[in-house]
């Protein structure tokens, strides 16, 4: 059972009205978006008085970011920039609240660990390693700091030898990459250089570094981060790490506990779970470890249950099995009686609490996307929040859901001069008469008596959501700014609407989502202000799959935009991780291939007619670039309108300002070509 808190927001038929527009406001542009200051997760001082966090600012001309650390008074809202190099990140308070540890690239080499005394003086460099450090955490005694780094097992604890290994790899004239593993590249990097992440500790007094995992060679998070926690007595670390061995036919994370004395003693405490276990967090008294548990290994969006592990009797208590939420980012209350956590719920991400031994879930905050909850004393929570109409800022709230206070406003001045359209949150009937949630974003100065083109945004995943969130790549307001009504349906398979809704497309990625989108088009065409002859469908990744599927099923769209889209399911077996594709598609090239071909967009290329803009990056290993070349070449050989935008230095996402601005320019020109009045 979920008890609603004091701050509520209904799910259907809401207009989120932005501030009244003045004559002096500007239409939102990609340049505005790239000039916004991007606020990261805060670290709160032990007494709850201060927060430290990073803010990233992009220089469009230089095509690069600068990241700075800020100190925030959680009561007065006064904030001060405390670093100025533009190369600092990952700040964390010391246990006594007098110092901050962070990583920095200020020496123009790999990121190293620094400590800044808040009473004054320059930051002190603590590590000087040939590889970068990341994810620092203080030991409870304040005398040591744990961190992660990628090393080659052959270094044998000697960092001079590690430098020699690195130098040898840099100078080698051989460019071949050799493997017998199933997983040999991931996202945009190859995994064949022999490097693996480990946890270390460094003594502040003498800067001595100790390898805490001397006999371990495996992966933490494949995206490059690590989730770990240090026990209150400092004698043990719990870490989420892949538990499978080469050739990595599957990847399965488990919770490992290791001694912090450098002995390398390590134990898997969740080895009996066949699926993933993530994010271990010790209770304040050290008797328990709270972690997240999946049950289905081949379903990456399987809901995450919170489990409390008793370190004394070695039992596991699943406290959210009967709650249809997928839990994230949990923390303990100071007394260990309550757990605070985030979870997606109906296209938003809310803040909840639950008793540590299980029971009713209470909603503390709802509205937009809440993230990164942390404590500031016994009765206050600090978190970040963003929504479709505003980027991330830091907030605080009472643990009972009262006294919501906005603590930062880095982008308020810019937003006050920008005209954003209204946002509507509706529900319509989709495939099988199911309720489908959808956001509608209206263009600036929308006039319901006029006719507007309609642009669909189709999210990736497919197990994801276009939620009430600010997006720095596919920003809904940038899509609507030229004068388009934008529709963002959260079709079958989307997360945040319960486990069964998310699982409903297994074995058939095409049918239900496609029908939901067509039903959304029917719903929108009934509006007097929509011109049904001027509709476009846009999508990236799985959204691109759906765009290419649409291309082979209907000609009702005047234009299509396919970014990093899956086109031929056979090629997805060249993806960076292909182990579960057969489960997702209901077949594979060697097992039930007929079923896979039924939902393969490439099987329906003979029906193509709608013009398509194809965008792809060379470094995209999740959806290999051949997908883009293949669909584009088919279009051109069929004599159809198509345009290719190829990035040799981008991955699945467009991450640099200049390339992003170019992306939007191409996007706008393509839609203008086919959606402008008279076409």
* 57-63 average pLDDT score: 97
Confidence of residue 236 (pLDDT cuts 50, 70, 90): very high
Query: CA torsion 181→187→192→198, rounded to 10°?
Result: -100
Rounded distance between C-alpha atoms, residue 2 and residue 652, angstroms: 37
Residue 513 lies in a domain: yes
Confidence of residue 4 (pLDDT cuts 50, 70, 90): very low
pLDDT at 1: 47
Query: In terms of Cα–Cα distance, which of 267, 263, 265, 264 is closest to 254?
Result: 267
| 214, 261 contact by CB (below 8 A) | no
* 293-311 average pLDDT score: 96
Q: How far is CA 122 from CA 2, 20, 73, 83, in A?
A: 49, 46, 21, 9
Query: In terms of Cα–Cα distance, which of 502, 507, 516, 505 is closest to 465?
Result: 502
What is the CB-side half-sphere exposure of residue 96 using CA atoms within 13 A?
Answer: 9
* 518-528 average pLDDT score: 98
Residue 425 lies in a domain: yes
Query: In terms of Cα–Cα distance, which of 524, 602, 597, 601 is closest to 556?
Result: 524
* 467-489 average pLDDT score: 97
| Strands annotated E in 232-287 | 236-242, 253-259, 266-268, 277-282
pLDDT at 670: 98
Check whether the bond before 462 is cis (ω within 30° of 0).
yes
| 55, 66 contact by CB (below 8 A) | no
Residues 6+ positions from 143 with CB-CB distance below 8 Å: 203, 204, 205
Angle at 564 between CA 562 and CA 569, to 5 degrees: 95
* 513-535 average pLDDT score: 98
Query: In terms of Cα–Cα distance, which of 71, 74, 72, 101 is closest to 88?
Result: 101
pLDDT at 107: 87
High-pLDDT (> 90) share of the chain, %? 95
Confidence of residue 678 (pLDDT cuts 50, 70, 90): low
CATH number at residue 563: 3.40.50.1820
Segment 580-639, tens digit of pLDDT: 999 999 999 999 999 999 999 999 999 999 999 999 999 999 999 999 999 999 999 999
pLDDT score of 654 more than 70:
yes
Max alpha carbon distance in the chain (Å)? 74
Segment 5-40, tens digit of pLDDT: 433 333 333 333 333 334 468 999 999 999 999 999
Query: In terms of Cα–Cα distance, which of 353, 351, 385 is closest to 368?
Result: 385
Residue 438 lies in a domain: yes
Rounded distance between C-alpha atoms, residue 423 and residue 370, angstroms: 18
High-pLDDT (> 70) share of the chain, %? 96
pLDDT at 676: 87
| Strands annotated E in 432-565 | 435-441, 452-458, 485-490, 530-540, 559-563
pLDDT score of 444 more than 80:
yes
Segment 274-288, tens digit of pLDDT: 999 999 999 999 999
Segment 184-198, tens digit of pLDDT: 999 999 999 999 999
How far is C-alpha 32 from the geometric centre of its chain's CA atoms? 22
Rounded distance between C-alpha atoms, residue 450 and residue 531, angstroms: 9
Segment 344-360, tens digit of pLDDT: 999 999 999 999 999 99
Long-range contacts of range 348-355, CB-CB < 8 Å, 24 or more positions apart?
348/9, 348/467, 348/468, 348/496, 349/467, 349/469, 349/496, 351/381, 351/383, 351/397, 352/2, 352/325, 353/399, 354/306, 354/319, 354/320, 354/323, 355/319
pLDDT at 108: 86
pLDDT score of 331 more than 60:
yes
Q: Which domain holds residue 543?
A: 415-675
Segment 541-569, tens digit of pLDDT: 999 999 999 999 999 999 999 999 999 99
* 660-677 average pLDDT score: 96
Residue 6 lies in a domain: no
pLDDT at 5: 44
pLDDT score of 501 more than 80:
yes
For residue 495 the two structure tokens come to 């997360």
Residue 461 lies in a domain: yes
pLDDT score of 363 more than 60:
yes
**What's the number of domains the chain is made of?**
1
What is the Cα gyration radius of the chain? 25
* Rounded-to-5 percentages of helix, strand, coil across the chain: 20, 35, 45
Give the three-class secondary structure for 159. helix
For residue 36 the two structure tokens come to 């916004």
Residue 655 lies in a domain: yes
pLDDT score of 218 more than 90:
yes
| 69, 91 contact by CB (below 8 A) | yes
Check whether the bond before 247 is cis (ω within 30° of 0).
yes
Residue 317 lies in a domain: no
Residue 568 lies in a domain: yes
């Amino acid at each position: 059972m979920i008890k609603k808190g004091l701050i509520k927001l209904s799910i259907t038929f809401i207009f989120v009205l932005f501030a009244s527009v003045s004559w002096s406001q500007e239409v939102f542009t990609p340049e505005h978006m790239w000039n916004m200051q991007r606020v990261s997760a805060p670290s709160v001082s032990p007494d709850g008085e201060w927060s430290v966090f990073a803010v990233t600012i992009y220089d469009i001309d230089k095509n690069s970011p600068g990241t700075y650390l800020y100190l925030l008074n959680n009561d007065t809202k006064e904030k001060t920039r405390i670093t100025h190099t533009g190369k600092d990140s990952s700040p964390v308070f010391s246990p006594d609240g007098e110092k901050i540890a962070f990583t920095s690239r200020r020496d123009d080499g790999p990121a190293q660990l620094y400590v800044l005394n808040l009473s004054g003086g320059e930051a002190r460099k603590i590590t000087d390693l040939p590889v970068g450090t990341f994810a620092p955490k203080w030991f409870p005694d304040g005398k040591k700091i744990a961190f992660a780094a990628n090393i080659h097992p052959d270094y044998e604890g000697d960092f001079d030898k590690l430098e020699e290994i690195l130098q040898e790899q840099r100078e080698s004239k051989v460019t071949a990459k050799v493997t017998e593993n199933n997983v040999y590249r991931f996202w945009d990097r190859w995994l064949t250089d022999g490097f693996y992440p480990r946890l270390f500790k460094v003594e502040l007094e003498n800067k001595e570094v100790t390898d805490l995992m001397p006999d371990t060679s495996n992966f933490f998070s494949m995206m490059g981060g690590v989730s770990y926690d240090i026990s209150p007595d400092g004698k043990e670390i719990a870490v989420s790490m892949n538990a499978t061995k080469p050739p990595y036919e599957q990847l399965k994370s488990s919770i490992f506990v290791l001694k912090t004395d450098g002995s390398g003693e390590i134990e898997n405490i969740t080895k009996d779970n066949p699926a993933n276990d993530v994010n271990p967090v010790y209770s304040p008294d050290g008797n328990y470890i709270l972690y997240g548990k999946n049950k289905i290994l081949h379903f990456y969006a399987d809901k995450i249950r919170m489990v409390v592990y008793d370190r004394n009797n070695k039992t596991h208590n699943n406290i959210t099995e009967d709650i249809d939420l997928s839990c994230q980012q949990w923390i303990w209350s100071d007394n260990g009686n309550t757990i605070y956590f985030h979870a997606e719920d109906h296209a938003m991400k809310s803040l909840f609490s639950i008793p540590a031994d299980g029971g009713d879930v209470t909603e503390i905050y709802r509205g937009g996307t809440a993230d990164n909850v942390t404590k500031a004393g016994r009765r206050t929570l600090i978190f970040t929040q963003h929504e479709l109409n505003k980027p991330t800022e830091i907030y605080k709230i009472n643990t009972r859901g009262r006294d919501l206070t906005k603590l930062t406003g880095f982008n308020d001045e810019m937003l006050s001069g920008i005209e954003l359209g209204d946002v509507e949150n509706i529900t319509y009937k989709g495939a099988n008469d199911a309720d489908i949630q959808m956001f509608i974003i209206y263009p600036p100065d929308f006039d319901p008596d006029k006719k507007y083109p309609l642009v669909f945004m189709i999210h990736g995943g497919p197990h994801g959501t276009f939620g009430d969130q600010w997006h720095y790549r596919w920003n809904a307001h940038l899509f609507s700014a030229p004068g388009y009504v934008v529709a963002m349906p959260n079709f079958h398979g989307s997360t945040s609407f319960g486990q069964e809704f998310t699982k409903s497309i297994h074995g058939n990625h095409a049918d239900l989502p496609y029908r939901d989108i067509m039903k959304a088009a029917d719903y929108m065409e009934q509006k007097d202000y929509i011109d049904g002859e001027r509709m476009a469908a846009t999508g990236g990744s799985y959204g691109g799959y759906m765009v290419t599927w649409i291309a082979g099923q209907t000609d009702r769209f005047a234009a299509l935009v396919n970014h990093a889209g899956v086109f031929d399911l056979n090629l997805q077996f060249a993806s960076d991780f292909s182990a579960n594709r057969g489960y997702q598609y209901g077949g594979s090239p060697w097992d039930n291939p007929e079923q896979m071909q039924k939902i393969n967009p490439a099987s329906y290329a003979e029906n193509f007619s709608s013009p398509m803009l194809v965008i792809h990056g060379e470094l995209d290993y999740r959806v290999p670039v051949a997908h883009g070349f293949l669909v584009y070449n088919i279009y051109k050989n069929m004599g159809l309108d198509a345009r290719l935008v190829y990035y040799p230095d981008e991955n699945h996402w467009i991450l640099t300002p200049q390339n992003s601005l170019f992306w939007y320019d191409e996007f706008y020109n393509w839609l203008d070509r086919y959606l402008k009045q008279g076409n």
